Structure 1
């Protein structure tokens, strides 16, 4: 399997994008679990890495903790919001493998955040679409460049996977930066 060149700066750009997407729905989790800071700490760790920090055990631990928080949430919306936080911290661990499955490391936080927002709005898909539009505007040319190095997101999966594919297609359709 071929490898894709990824610099530390590429990883920082992707992680900043993911953190920006995830922080939009932190309140969804916190409204459900007000005393659980694990998703907020995961997003904070993602921002720290994106702004020049180390990609070390603390970042990895915060991602795992956010995933555990998702499992303890009472509502599906809160679970998806915590998964967005987990994905933000996990974005720093994008693997340089030329596989479409890696696209979720780049776009997962945006897709989970969109799904959380849909669920809060009684499963209103237009709310998810709006979140994806915001994510497209938030994506820097560097994020789009990294994404385009990978094959497209794979088919299958549930609504979050569908949102990943929609975001993937929207970002790939952007004109290249001049």
Structure 2
């Protein structure tokens, strides 16, 4: 009998997950760009994830864009721009989706759904902490998950506990997709 960790991921599956994550992150990019004009790092991370999804290679450049988006998130948080910080974290998660590992660990679910969770939180903050904005985004991202993304998600245990509001949003989306 196969163990939970005995599965593989094809490049096509990784591309589907990265494309989904990029689509989930893209709607909140304008929040970051409005609050941090001239900082291309989150946009570059989403573009790198999309380029991989569209057939590009999984290279160090994607990781570099992810790390740059993380630094952009930290810079925004330090400037008191919480919505922009979450938007940059969504971009980070989109680029990180290309590096989903075939390990049956709940933490890997964040590689699949993290962009959606952070984007939903960014939109919620930008709407004055209105949970309806997060609900709307989670609803849209649920529809955007194609059968390949859902099948990959189902190979993993449910999303982990913790993670504050973003973790809650990820768990809600995870439950809805399963």
**TM, length-normalised to structure 2:** 0.95
Where in structure 2 are there 5+ consecutive unaligned residues? Answer: none
Kept in 2: contact 1:4–1:150 (CA 8 A): no
Q: What is the CA–CA distance in structure 2 between the aligned matches of 1:87 and 1:44, rounded to whole Å?
A: 12
Unpaired runs of 5+ residues, structure 1, are: 173-178
- Match of residue 60 from structure 2: 57
Aligned-residue Cα RMSD (Å) equals 0.9
| Equivalent position to 2:31, from 10, 28, 31 | 28
Aligned to 2:99: 93
The equivalent of 1:176 in structure 2 is none
Asked if structure 2 preserves the Cα contact closer than 8 Å seen for 1:136 and 1:170, the reply is yes
Per the alignment, residue 164 of structure 2 pairs with 158
2:74 counterpart of 1:68: no
Q: Secondary structure at the match of 1:65?
A: helix
Contact 1:42 1:59 (C-alpha < 8 Å) held by counterparts: yes
Normalising to structure 1: TM-score of the pair?
Answer: 0.95
How far apart, CA to CA, are the structure 2 residues paired with 1:13 and 1:156?
Answer: 26
Q: Does 1:137 align with 2:140?
A: no
Q: Distance in 2 between matches of 1:32 and 1:153?
A: 31
SS at match of 2:8: coil
* Cα displacement (A) at 1:2: 2.1
1:112 matched to which residue of 2? 118
Equivalent in 124, 129, 152 of residue 123 of structure 1 = 129
